[in-house]
C-alpha cells in the first residue's frame, strides 16, 4: 500500500477543567455546541472538507461519550476503507505503559499508527477549537515553501498575545522566534495550535524529545523551539476568519451567543463548507400555540410552549408553558418545567428544571445548571 500525502492527528484528550460542570463527565471536544454540534465536529468536518480521509483521535480524559459519538466516523464520511477515524487512547506495552504526558508525547506514543499510513506530512489539530479552515490550502503552501513545519497563525490583539504561542517572522517570511505565552510579546502573530509537519522531521524530533530529560513533551514548549534551534524551515500560514479557542465558561458562553448573531451564524452554518455532526434523529421542532421564539437557534426535537429570546436550544429541548428563557444556552435533552424564569444560564445536557424555578445571577454572571443544582429535578 502506498503512503498517504497527509493524515491528521487530533488531540482530544484534554480535560478542559476550566469548563467546570460542562466537562465533569465528558472530554472538552465532546461538549455540545451551537445546538446540534459537539466541539470536535468543527475539526473533523474541516478534515473531510479538506480531503483528509485519515484522522487519529487521541483521547485520554473521560473519553466514553467522545468514543461513542465518533463511532466509525461515518457521520463525517470518515469510514473509508484505507483510512478513516481511529480512536487512539493510551495503551500498555511489554514495559508497562503510561498516560499521555503532553501533546508531543501523545503523538510519540502513536508513531507506529502514523507509520501504518506512511504519510509525507502530518497535520496536528486540537479538538477544542471553533473555526472553518481548508487545510488543503495550508498543505499546498507548506509544500510550496518546502517547509519542515507550517504553523497556522491568527492575528490577535497585543493584550491577548500573552495567552498564546507568539511568533516572529523575518523578511523571507520564515519564523525565527517562537515564545510560548510570553509576558512581553514582541508580535501579535499567535499560533492556533494547527501544525503541518513533514513526517520525517516530526518523527525524528519526537524521538529526540523523548530522550530529553526535563522536557514537558509539548509542541509549543519543546518541539517547536528545538526545531528552530536546528534551523529547520518553519513558516506561518495566515488565517483570517472566525476562530475561537474555548477555554473558560465565559468564552464558551460568548461563542454560543455569537452563533445566534446573524453574521457569524451565517458564516459558520449557511455559507461555504458544511459542518457535519452525528446527532440522533428527531422530528422537526414544534413551536406551540403559546410559544414565542425570537433571535434564537432551535434544533430538531424541541417543543417550545414558553417564550425564548436570545437563546440557543439544542436537540430535543422541552420548554414548558409560561416559562421565559432569555440569554441562555440549553444543551441537548434539557427539560424546563412550567413557569420558570431563566436568564443568562447554561443548562447542562439532560437536566430537568423544576416548575417555577427562577435562575439568574444577581451580579449578572453566568449560571451553570447541572444535575446536582438546586433547581434540577
Partner 1 sequence: MKKTIGLISANYVIEEINSNIQERGLAALPFGSRYRLIDFPLSNLKNSGVGCVGIIMPFNNRALIDHIGAGKAWGFGRKTNSLFMLPGSVYGRKNNADKFLLRDIILNFRFIDYDNADYVILCGVNKIFNMNFQPMIKQHEQSGNDLTVAYTVKDGKDIPLDCAIINQSFLIDIASWYGNLDFLGLMKIIEDYLDDADIGRYEFDSEVIIIENMHDYLKGNLSLLENDVRENIFNPDNQIYTNVQDRAPTFYAPSSKVHNSLIAAGCMIEGEVENSVIFRSSHIHKGAKVKNSVLMQDCNVSEGAYLNNFICDKRVHVMKNVRVEGTMETPYYVQKGQII
Residue with cell 483521535: 57
Cβ at position 4, least distance to partner 1 in Å: 26
- By beta-carbon proximity to partner 1, the closer residue of 59 and 296 is 296
323 contributes a contact to partner 1 by CB under 8 A: no
Q: Which residues, 60 to 99, sit near partner 1 by CB under 8 A?
A: 75
Distances (CA, A) of 318 to 21, 280, 292, 303, 306: 21, 16, 13, 5, 9
Q: How far is the CB of 269 from partner 1 (least distance, A)?
A: 3
- Of these, 7, 9, 27, 34, which contacts partner 1 (CB under 8 A)? 34
- Among 300, 335, 339, 352, interactor with partner 1 by CB under 8 A: 300
Q: How far is the CB of 251 from partner 1 (least distance, A)?
A: 20
Nearest residue to 242 via CA among 262, 266, 260, 268: 268
**Coil vs helix vs strand at 18:** helix
Taking the least distance from each CB to partner 1, the nearer of 312 and 370 is: 312
CA 47 to CA 70: how far, in whole Å? 14
State which of positions 197-226 bind partner 1 (CB under 8 A).
Answer: none
At its nearest, how many Å lie between partner 1 and the CB of residue 172?
A: 42
DSSP structural state of residue 241: S
Spell out, one character per residue from 260 to 299, where the chain touches partner 1: x when CB under 8 A holds, - when not. Answer: x-x--x--xxx---xxxx-x-x-xxxxxxx-xxxxxxxxx
Hunting for cell 429535578 — which residue is that?
377
What is the C-alpha to C-alpha distance for residues 377 and 374, in angstroms, rounded to an integer? 8
Short-list 202, 240, 277, 205, CA closest to 45: 277
**Nearest distance in Å: CB 222, partner 1:** 39
Minimum CB–partner distance for residue 52 and partner 1 (Å): 19
Could you say which DSSP state residue 376 is in? B
Residue located via cell numbers 441562555: 328
| Comparison of 296 and 323: residue with beta carbon closer to partner 1 | 296
CB closer to partner 1 out of 288 and 365? 288
Shortest approach of partner 1 to residue 151 CB, angstroms?
30
Alpha carbon 220 to its chain's center: 18
222, burial (CB in 10 Å: exposed 0-12, middle 13-18, buried 19+): buried
Q: Helix or strand or coil: residue 191? A: strand
In the complex, minimum distance from the CB of residue 286 to partner 1, in angstroms, rounded to a whole number: 5
Binding part of the chain for partner 1, among 32-40, 86-94, 100-108, 164-172 by CB under 8 A, reads 32-40
In angstroms, the CA 17 to CA 359 distance is 24
Number of residues interacting with partner 1: please give it, by CB under 8 A. 35
Residue 71 or residue 182: which is nearer to partner 1 going by CB?
71
* Cβ closest to partner 1, residue 239 vs residue 269: 269
- Phi/psi zone of residue 295: left (φ > 0), alpha (ψ -120 to 50 degrees), beta? left
Find the binder of partner 1 among 35, 119, 193, 306 (CB under 8 A).
35
Instruction: For residue 195, give the 3-state DSSP assignment.
Output: strand
**Residue 20 sits in the site that holds partner 1 (CB under 8 A):** no
Q: Site residues (CB under 8 A) for partner 1?
A: 34-36, 75, 260, 262, 265, 268-270, 274-277, 279, 281, 283-289, 291-300, 312-313
Amino acid at each position: 500500500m502506498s503512503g498517504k500525502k497527509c493524515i491528521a492527528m487530533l488531540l482530544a484528550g484534554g480535560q478542559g477543567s476550566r469548563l467546570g460542570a460542562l466537562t465533569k463527565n465528558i472530554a472538552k471536544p465532546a461538549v455540545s455546541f451551537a445546538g446540534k454540534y459537539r466541539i470536535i465536529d468543527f475539526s473533523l468536518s474541516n478534515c473531510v472538507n479538506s480531503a483528509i480521509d485519515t484522522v487519529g483521535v487521541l483521547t485520554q480524559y473521560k473519553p466514553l461519550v467522545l468514543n461513542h459519538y465518533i463511532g466509525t466516523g461515518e457521520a463525517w464520511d470518515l469510514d473509508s476503507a484505507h483510512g478513516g477515524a481511529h480512536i487512539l487512547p493510551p495503551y500498555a506495552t511489554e514495559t508497562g505503559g503510561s498516560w499521555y504526558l503532553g501533546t508531543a508525547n501523545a503523538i510519540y506514543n502513536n508513531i507506529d499508527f502514523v507509520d501504518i499510513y506512511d504519510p509525507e506530512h502530518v497535520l496536528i489539530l486540537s479538538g477544542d477549537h471553533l473555526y472553518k479552515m481548508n487545510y488543503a490550502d495550508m498543505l499546498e503552501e507548506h509544500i510550496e515553501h518546502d517547509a519542515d513545519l507550517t504553523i497556522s497563525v491568527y492575528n490577535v490583539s497585543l493584550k491577548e498575545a500573552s495567552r498564546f504561542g507568539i511568533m516572529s517572522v523575518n523578511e523571507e517570511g520564515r519564523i525565527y522566534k517562537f515564545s510560548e505565552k510570553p509576558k512581553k510579546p514582541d508580535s501579535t502573530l499567535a499560533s492556533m495550535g494547527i501544525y503541518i509537519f513533514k513526517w520525517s522531521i516530526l518523527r525524528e524530533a519526537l524521538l529526540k524529545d523523548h530522550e530529553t530529560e526535563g522536557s514537558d513533551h509539548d509542541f509549543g514548549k519543546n518541539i517547536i523551539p528545538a526545531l528552530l534551534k536546528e534551523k529547520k524551515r518553519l513558516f506561518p500560514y495566515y488565517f483570517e476568519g472566525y476562530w475561537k479557542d474555548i477555554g473558560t465558561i465565559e468564552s464558551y458562553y460568548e461563542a454560543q451567543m455569537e452563533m445566534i448573531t446573524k453574521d457569524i451564524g451565517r458564516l459558520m452554518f449557511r455559507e461555504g463548507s458544511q459542518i457535519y455532526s452525528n446527532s440522533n434523529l428527531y422530528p422537526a421542532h414544534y413551536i406551540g400555540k403559546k410559544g414565542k421564539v425570537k433571535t434564537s437557534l432551535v434544533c430538531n426535537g424541541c417543543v417550545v410552549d414558553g417564550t425564548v429570546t436570545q437563546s440557543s436550544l439544542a436537540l430535543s429541548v422541552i420548554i414548558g408553558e409560561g416559562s421565559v428563557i432569555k440569554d441562555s444556552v440549553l444543551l441537548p435533552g434539557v427539560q424546563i418545567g412550567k413557569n420558570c424564569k431563566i436568564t443568562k444560564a447554561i443548562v447542562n445536557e439532560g437536566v430537568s428544571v423544576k416548575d417555577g424555578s427562577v435562575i439568574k445571577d444577581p451580579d449578572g454572571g453566568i449560571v451553570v445548571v447541572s444535575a446536582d443544582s438546586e433547581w434540577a429535578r
